[in-house]
Amino acid sequence: MWCRLKSRISAGTIDALLERAADLISNAQQDNSITFGKDFFGRIDSQNNNLDLLQRLHQDFWPEIADIVNLKLPVVDHTSLLIKGAGAPGTALHQDRAYWVSRDPEPTIFSVWIALEDLTEEKGGLILTPANQVSVDGMSAFNTGSIIEHTQDYKQAGGFPITVPVAAATEMKQSMEFISLAKGEALAFDSFEAHTTGPNQTTTPRLAMKIAYSDGTDKDYYLMRTDQLVSLETDAGNRPDQ
Ligand SMILES: O=C(O)CCC(=O)C(=O)O
Ligand SMILES: [Fe+2]
């Protein structure tokens, strides 16, 4: 299941993020795949961890969904920048659950997928099943779906090599549609929601990202607890982009 979030990130936050990610974005320009920026949030050092930005993004969305998803120990499981190079191919159809079976034995991860620019179909925006859309309240039943068969396919990988086999994917895509998102808009989808993206047919990188939340109980590899993120003292006041 998936839903559109009503909250929207301010242009100021997004522009600050794009400025800090400028080198990654410019290196991704010619990349034929997706740049994930796995270290961008929280992983480098205390001066360059961009956690002030993650805090701002999180605070924009979390109040709308916290009580509905009602995780026991809410954590940011991981984050990804999803910068798709100009001309890069689409991402093959998959459920994220296929990647996370050992990471998240009891399925608790869900993703907030954020447009960092206006995402058109030509840009390689997200393609989902309209019939699976719910209201934000409906997300309380998240992660109750079932897994479909996936295979490893490094040929049509586009950075996501575990995919629904081509014949089944072709059939499923008949009832899927491109979902338009404006800069700063986001949607949430659970780990059973099958999704795909088209190629980036434009001359500039596609700018999107995701924050994956989960229940951190009995885990030790997540990025950080949401209560720690909220109470984090960042040096945001000294940043030139504030
Ligand atoms: O960005 C894409 O093309 C696909 C992203 C995706 O599959 C994901 O965020 O789980
Ligand atoms: Fe995915």
Q: Is residue 198 part of a domain?
A: yes
Residue 26 CB-half CA count within 13 A: 4
DSSP for residue 236? G
Q: Which two structure tokens, joined as six digits, stand for 160?
A: 């996501």
Ligand 2 ion: Cβ-proximal residues, 5 Å cutoff = 96
The pTM assigned to this predicted structure is: 0.94
C-alpha 48 – ligand 2 centre gap (Å)? 27
* Token pair 């795949």 in the structure block, residue: 33
Q: For ligand 1, say whether the CB of 96 is within 6 Å of any of its atoms.
A: yes
At position 146, the amino acid (one-letter code) is: S
- Give the structural domain span for 201: 2-232
Confidence (pLDDT) at 105? 95
Residue 82 CA to ligand 1 centre (angstroms): 7
Could you give the residue ranges of the DSSP H alpha helices within the chain? Answer: 11-20, 22-28, 51-69, 97-100, 166-173, 226-231
Please report whether residue 238 resides in a domain: no
Nearest CA to ligand 1 atom 1: 82
The pLDDT of residue 158 is 66
Domain-located, residue 193: yes
Is the CB–ligand 1 distance for residue 82 below 6 Å? yes
CATH of the domain at 82: 2.60.120.620
Tell me what pLDDT residue 156 has: 62
Q: What is the DSSP string of 205-232?
A: -EEEEEEEEEE-TT---SSEEHHHHHH-
CA 241 remoteness from chain centre: 24
Q: Residue length, the chain?
A: 242
Residue 215 included in any domain: yes
Please state, in angstroms and rounded to a whole number, the distance separating the CA atoms of residues 79 and 67. Answer: 21
Per-residue pLDDT of the chain (242 residues; tens, 9 = 90+): 999 999 999 999 999 999 999 999 999 997 888 999 888 998 777 778 999 999 999 999 999 999 999 999 999 999 999 999 999 999 999 999 999 999 999 999 999 999 999 999 999 999 999 999 999 999 999 999 999 999 987 776 567 889 999 999 999 999 999 999 999 999 999 999 999 999 999 999 999 999 999 999 999 999 999 999 999 887 654 454 54
Q: Is residue 241 part of a domain?
A: no
Question: Considering the domain boundaries, does residue 134 fall inside one?
Answer: yes
Report helix angle 11-20 to 51-69, nearest 10: 130
Q: From the CA of 127, how far away is ligand 1's center (Å)?
A: 10
Closest-approaching ligand to the CA atom of 80: 1
